[in-house]
């Protein structure tokens, strides 16, 4: 791997401490970062180099998946970190930053490759990108790349404005949009699972699949993010990005050995084939909910509108479910059910494939006494693959009994999503980053929901904390049912 400088905006922020520093450290220990390397942290406050390195050390001690013991290796790692004060709106600060970057490049004999990581609010993206351009920071002999985090816009229009403005400084192939769900090992495994298992490949079509269910349920509530969340809601916070990315990953169909370009083009195909929502019957396909007081794992919790800093009249959804249709030969007539919410019964991100039972009548079996075959893909917090089959129960007069065949990864030393993603970005591999067209198509599909909410045409259903969401989300499935642990 080529050497580079990692320029981190928002270096004293939460994401940097929780995710970015531990990820860099673990990559370093695994020798997945070329050494020597240089990290220049940026923030508004004046901090000495020593104090900054102490902050980085503290973050590793608190959040790294590997235990931290003092060692020459650790000291060497910390020495890579330097700090510069920067006010995002002051062009002269970028000039100073350029000098700092150059000085480190010369001192450490680094190639002029520069990674700009914007771990700051999206309202700063445009200003920072344009200052990177005008200060000369972006004029390098090597590569330059930009990493940004969701949200990419708040609706279709604002996403387009943001993209137009970023693309005056960075080309599409230089922009790495992080959707951290794409960094999760089991999500990265989905494609391999499909193409390397002929058993699954043979069944991967509408002839054999009855429906696909994607759930991301959380037990946490709004936490300390009222300011952000009460504007975003579950639609913008989870659905438009993470949930639709999971949909693309599970629904795309690829031959073995596909290139990053092919993968991203197949993902786009999924979004382009989605049946658009129509204003007239949108409410039959989308359900919004908001949590009320309840109990989660034995603990009482308040309702959303009683949370600190949330208006008692807030109409923001903390839960959303939808039924989607992909109109292509592979998936036609197969409903995709998606739901995500806060303060639900369990923390679980899971995809369930329900298979059809075409021989029901042939064997004269009663549908109600036989469970379908299921493939359950647990993405987190624990990773697992379960295939549910039916067998005869010898103790109950040979009645059919569903039995799960489960594989659970016992590897506790699994890389975290951010490690995978930062590593890929440093190598220039964009496979598991959101392409602009994916983002745009996702907003395009979601926009009618935003419009319906603004026009007051999409009801908000209350649901008790500690449940699987409002009843309306169960009814959304008609004769189907959500497969969940209850």
Residues within the annotated binding site for substrate? 180, 184, 218, 237, 342, 347
For position 211 contacting ligand BG6 by CB under 6 A, the verdict is no
Q: Which is nearer to ligand BG6, 181 or 331 (CB)?
A: 181
Which segments are annotated as binding site?
Answer: 10-17, 44, 87-88, 150, 180, 184, 218, 237, 342, 347
With CB atoms as reference, the residue minimizing the distance to ligand BG6 is 237
Total residues binding ligand BG6 (CB under 6 A): 5
| Closer residue to ligand BG6 (CB): 114 or 350 | 350
List binders of ligand BG6 among 378-417 (CB under 6 A).
Answer: 380
The answer to the question of residue 442 lying near ligand BG6 (CB under 6 A) is: no
Catalytic residue check, 242: yes
Cβ 176 to ligand BG6 shortest distance, Å? 16
* Least distance from ligand BG6 to the Cβ atom of residue 352, Å: 17
**CB of 380 vs ligand BG6, minimal distance in Å:** 6
Of 100, 109, 242, 285, the catalytic one is 242
Judged by CB under 6 A, which of 105, 191, 230, 237 binds ligand BG6?
237
Residue selected from 105, 218, 307, 416 as contacting ligand BG6 according to rule CB under 6 A:
218
Closer of 416 and 424 to ligand BG6 (Cβ): 416
Least separation in angstroms between residue 147's CB and ligand BG6 is 15
| Shortest distance, position 198 Cβ to ligand BG6, whole Å | 31
Task: Write a three-state SS string for the chain.
Answer: CCCCEEEEECCCCHHHHHHHHHHHHHHHHCCCCCCCCEEEEEECCCCCHHHHHHHHHHHHHHHCCCCCCCCHHHHHHHHCEEEEECCCCCHHHHHHHHHHHHHHHHHCCCCCCEEEEECCCHHHHHHHHHHHHHHCCCCCCCCEEEEEECCCCCCHHHHHHHHHHHCCCCCHHHEEEECHHHHCHHHHHHHHHHHCCHHHHHHCCCCCEEEEEEEEECCCCCCCCHHHHHHHHHHHHHHHHHHHHHHHHHHCCCCCCCCHHHHHHHHHHHHHCECCCCHHHHHHCEEEEEEECEEECCEEECCHHHCCCCCCCCCCCCEEEEEEEECCCCCCCCEEEEEEECCECCCEEEEEEEECCCCCCCCCCCHHHCCCCEEEEEEECCCEEEEEEEEEEHHHCCEEEEEEEEEECCCCCCCCHHHHHHHHHHHCCCCCCCCHHHHHHHHHHHHHHHHHHHCCCCCEEEEECCECCCHHHHHCCCCCCCCCCC
Nearer to ligand BG6 (CB atom), residue 14 or residue 76: 14
CB 353 to ligand BG6: min, Å = 20
| Residues in 286-305 that interact with ligand BG6 by CB under 6 A | none
The answer to whether residue 438 forms part of the interface with ligand BG6 (CB under 6 A) is no
Segment 332 to 371, residues that bind ligand BG6, using CB under 6 A = 349
User: Annotated binding residues for NADP(+), as ranges?
Assistant: 10-17, 44, 87-88, 150
Residue closer to ligand BG6 (CB basis): 94 or 319: 319
Q: Binding residues for ligand BG6, per CB under 6 A?
A: 218, 237-238, 349, 380
User: What is the set of active-site residues?
Assistant: 242
């Amino acid at each position: 791997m080529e050497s580079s400088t990692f320029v981190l905006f928002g270096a004293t922020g939460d994401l940097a401490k929780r995710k970015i520093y531990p990820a860099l450290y673990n990559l370093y220990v695994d020798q997945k970062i070329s050494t020597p390397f240089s990290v220049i942290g940026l923030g508004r406050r004046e901090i000495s180099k020593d104090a900054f390195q102490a902050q980085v050390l503290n973050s590793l001690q608190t959040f790294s998946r590997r235990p931290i013991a003092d060692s020459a290796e650790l000291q060497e790692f910390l020495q890579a970190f330097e700090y510069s004060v920067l006010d995002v709106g002051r062009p002269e600060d970028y000039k100073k930053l350029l000098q700092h970057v150059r000085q480190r490049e010369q001192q450490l004999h680094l190639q002029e490759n520069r990674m700009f990581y914007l771990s700051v609010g999206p309202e700063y993206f445009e200003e920072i990108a344009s200052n990177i351009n005008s200060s000369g920071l972006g004029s390098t002999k090597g590569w330059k790349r930009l990493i940004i985090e969701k949200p990419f816009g708040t609706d279709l229009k604002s996403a387009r404005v943001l993209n137009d403005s970023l693309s005056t400084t960075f080309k599409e192939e230089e922009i790495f949009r992080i959707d951290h769900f794409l960094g999760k090992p089991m999500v990265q495994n989905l494609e391999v699972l499909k193409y390397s298992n002929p058993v699954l490949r043979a069944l991967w079509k509408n002839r054999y699949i009855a429906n696909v269910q994607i759930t991301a349920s959380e037990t946490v509530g709004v936490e300390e993010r009222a300011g952000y969340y009460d504007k975003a809601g579950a639609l913008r916070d989870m659905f438009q990005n993470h949930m639709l990315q999971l949909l693309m990953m599970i629904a795309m169909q690829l031959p073995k050995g596909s290139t990053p370009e092919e993968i991203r083009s197949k993902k786009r195909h999924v979004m382009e084939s989605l049946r658009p929502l129509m204003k007239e019957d949108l409410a039959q396909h989308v359900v919004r909910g908001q949590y009320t007081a309840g109990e989660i794992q034995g603990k009482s919790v308040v309702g959303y509108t009683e949370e600190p800093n949330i208006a008692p009249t807030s109409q923001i959804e903390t839960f959303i479910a939808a039924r989607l249709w992909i109109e292509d030969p592979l998936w036609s007539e197969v409903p995709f059910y998606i739901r995500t919410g806060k303060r639900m019964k369990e923390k679980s991100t899971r995809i369930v494939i329900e298979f059809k039972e075409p021989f029901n009548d042939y064997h004269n079996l009663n549908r109600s006494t036989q469970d379908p075959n299921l493939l359950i893909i647990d993405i987190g917090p624990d990773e697992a693959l379960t295939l549910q089959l039916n067998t005869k129960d010898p103790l109950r007069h040979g009645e059919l009994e569903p039995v799960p065949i489960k594989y659970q990864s016992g590897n506790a030393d699994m890389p975290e999503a951010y490690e995978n993603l930062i590593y890929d970005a440093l190598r220039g591999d964009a496979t598991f980053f959101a392409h602009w067209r994916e983002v745009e198509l996702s907003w395009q599909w979601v926009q009618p929901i935003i419009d319906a909410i603004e026009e007051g045409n999409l009801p908000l259903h209350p649901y008790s904390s500690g449940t699987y969401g409002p009843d309306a989300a169960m009814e959304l499935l008609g004769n189907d049912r959500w497969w969940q642990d209850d």
